[in-house]
Amino acid sequence: MPSRRRLMGVALAAVTLLAAWGNAAEDLEVRGFGTGTVGGAGGRVLMVTRLDDDAEKPAPGMLRWALLQKGPRVIRFAKSGTIGLEAPLRLERGGQVTVDGASAPAAGITLTGWAVEFSRCEDVILTHLRIRNGSREVRRWLRKEKLERPRGSHGLDCVELRECRRVVLDHLSLEWSCDELLAVIRCQDVTVQHCLMAEPLAGTALHPYGDRHAFGILASASTLTLHHCVLAHYWMRGPQFEANDRRHGDTWPVRMEAVANLFADFGRSGSRITAGVEDHRDEAVGARFDFHLVGNAYLDCGGTKRAIELVTKHGWHPGVHCWAAENWWQPQGTEGFQPGAPVALEDGTPWKKAGSPWRRVMVAGPLFESPATPSPDLGGDGLARLLEEAGCSRERDAVDQRIVEEVKQRLVRPVTTRPRTRR
């Protein structure tokens, strides 16, 4: 039988270990609007010890169970592998949580099947996870419900943030969504950094609109920083900053920035900004919508002429302004990047040749400054370093390796209806 002293030593070691685990959030270097996010720091450590999921009755040891608990908590993983979600993994009116995928052994953690969603949550950190929805669960659900396509977009993104505050998404690999890879709607103080996002799916039966919805990032009515991410093999919206979803009573400014990202192999356009408001226009009267696209690299593998697209179909709102500067551009068939990524309207007209009021949207200088503003540092070896570090890169798996190599080789990959699991 172990001695009392030995048992006390083991207990003390365990407490020390738990305390160290509880400080996982402090190891992140966060830039931009999400710098104040603490996640679950100082709270309990909850270990994920099993890789199954039960949407109806989640049990201790499951990721879903740990996420749904109350109070500050750091979720860590005793196993590596794939968790097949039975339903969207959703947390509502909660938060104070860090999901630390870097704690998993070797191969890390991959979530498949459905979206990860946070609604009205505060202080959330997700780091070093792969989230790959795929189409199988959606198709299975459609057959069960006898539907031709989904009635709404719930569960179809890889990650959705809605009406949240203080969120950091760090070193995530997001692939094979049936809607956007990422949606950020009416959120405050969000940073998305060092993520690899690629290959949204384009099946007409996978999206409520019935179109080939292989889109990247949708963001509206938020304070958001997107920096040092790679987005590849998509049709458009990398990101799309929208002048939508503002509501009476919102007190925060709409300020969204994309800094030092690489956008590669886009079908229609790399990034988009909307000049007008699509719905609830009365609630946007007098509001400002300030956007920055700074220091990004646009790698046009498919021959489009729109690195940045100014969307005019919803008209013009006088509060919409965008500063686009120091963006680089490599057109198809050329060597090396050149300064001045083109900004054009939907019909291809360069914005400088467009009539009023469209020219009023683009401004000559910065509109705001975010906390710990990221540096647009893709010169020199910056681009190579970005590709090396993006996504769940501590143990990069075959899918992420393939995507990164395709970007390096400037390969064109048409959007597809099913995940690419082979080279």
The mean pLDDT of 144-153, rounded to a whole number, is 75
Q: Which two tokens stand for residue 359?
A: 């020219």
Res 313: pLDDT? 92
Confidence check: pLDDT of 18 > 60:
no
Cα 305 to its chain centre, rounded Å, is: 25
Res 374: pLDDT? 93
Instruction: Please state the pTM of the whole predicted model.
Output: 0.91
Confidence check: pLDDT of 5 > 50:
no
Write out pLDDT tens, residues 161-220. Answer: 999 999 999 999 999 998 899 999 999 999 999 999 999 998 776 766 656 678 999 999
The confidence band for 419, taking pLDDT boundaries of 50, 70 and 90, is confident
Task: Give the contacts of 115 (CB within 8 A, at least 6 positions apart).
Answer: 88, 89, 90, 131, 133, 154, 155, 156, 157, 158, 159, 160, 177
- Scanning 236-381, the segments in alpha helix (DSSP H) are none
The mean pLDDT of 355-377, rounded to a whole number, is 93
Confidence check: pLDDT of 305 > 60:
yes
Res 212: pLDDT? 66
Res 211: pLDDT? 65
The confidence band for 334, taking pLDDT boundaries of 50, 70 and 90, is confident
Under 8 Å between Cβ of 333 and 300:
no
Confidence check: pLDDT of 124 > 90:
yes
CB burial class (10 A; 0-12, 13-18, 19+) of residue 412? middle
Confidence check: pLDDT of 8 > 70:
no
Domain 4-408 in CATH 2.60.40.180: no
The mean pLDDT of 245-263, rounded to a whole number, is 96
Res 7: pLDDT? 31
